[in-house]
Amino acid sequence: LSMVRHQPEGLDQLQAQTQFTRKELQSLYRGFKNECPSGLVDEETFKTIYSQFFPQGDATTYAHFLFNAFDMDRNGSIRFEDFVLGLSVLLRGSVTEKLRWAFNLYDINKDGYITKEEMLAIMTSIYDMMGRYTLPSVRDDSPFEHVEKFFQKMDRNRDGVVTIDEFIETCQRDENIMASMQLFENVI
């Protein structure tokens, strides 16, 4: 338990930076502070919290990727501002912003390209969350096949990597994906 404490910026500034109302910000902060009294979430705590929602499988790897996606300044801990900014994009942002966020999640080394290895790592971590008791059971090459399908769809110029434009373009053409992006509007 670190002695570092962090206080977020004022409510007004956050309100300006994000798309949340005052009440929503208050509610979000109360939940955040309840779990992390010090005001900072480190990776271990984050993994613990996230794993509680997926008890059957192992959510730690995916939580690691998620943590990196939220921790924008790469300092190893998520402050309330990072948390709220990320949520603002996810819940109140435009479809393009959401897609950009997803791309950022998949691009592990943040170099602007999604390689097959990166995608495989992401996919394996998602399948890990399912755990062992699934129907039909997860075979060892299920993630790999899934990655192949993904690349076939996304990689237009067959150069082995997916760029941000390819990604956004392909997603905008897929109705299912567009519909699912609107799914979590009313979460808060």
Partner 1 sequence: MAAGVAAWLPFARAAAIGWMPVASTPMPIPPQDKRKAQDGLIILNVSGTKFQTWRTTLERYPDTLLGSTERDFFFHEETSEYFFDRDPDIFRHILNFYRTGKLHYPRQECISAYDEELAFFGIIPEIIGDCCYEEYKDRRRENAERLQDDEEMDMNNDVTPVNLTFREYLWRAFENPHTSTLALVFYYVTGFFIAISVMANVVETVPCGTLPNRSKEMSCGDRYALAFFCLDTACVMIFTVEYLLRLIAAPSRCKFMKSVMSVIDVVAIMPYYIGLVMTDNDQVSGAFVTLRVFRVFRIFKFSRHSAGLRILGYTLKSCASELGFLLFSLTMAIIIFATVMFYAEKGSTATKFTSIPAAFWYTIVTMTTLGYGDMVPKTIVGKVFGSICSLSGVLVIALPVPVIVSNFSRIYHQSQRAEKRRAQRKTRLARIRAAKIRGTNAYMRYKQNGLLIDALEEVAGQALVGKAASPPFESQHHHLLHCLEKTTNHEFVDEQTFQANCMEISVVNKSGSRTSSLSSSPHGLSSCCSRRHRKKSSFSLPSTNNQELSTIQIRERPVSNSRSSLNAKLDKTMPLKCDEAYISPSMVRLSAPVATSSDDTSTATTTYSQSNIVRVSAL
Residues 139-158 that bind partner 1 (CB under 8 A): 146, 149-150
Q: Give the SS3 label for residue 54.
A: coil
Rule CB under 8 A: is residue 137 a binding residue for partner 1? no
Q: Give the SS3 label for residue 53.
A: coil
Neighbours of 92 (CB within 10 A): 16
Burial class (CB in 10 A: 0-12, 13-18, 19+), 115: middle
Interacting stretch for partner 1, rule CB under 8 A, among 9-17, 27-35, 130-138?
A: 27-35
The residue from 40, 121, 122, 161 that contacts partner 1 (CB under 8 A) is 122
Q: Would you say 1 or 179 has its CB closer to partner 1?
A: 179
Q: Give the SS3 label for residue 107.
A: coil
As a whole number of angstroms, the distance between CA 55 and CA 42 comes to 20
The site for partner 1 (CB under 8 A) is made up of 23, 27-28, 30-32, 34-35, 49-50, 52-53, 55, 66, 69, 83, 87, 90-91, 98-99, 101-102, 105-106, 122-123, 126, 146, 149-150, 167, 171, 176-177, 179-181, 183-184, 186-188
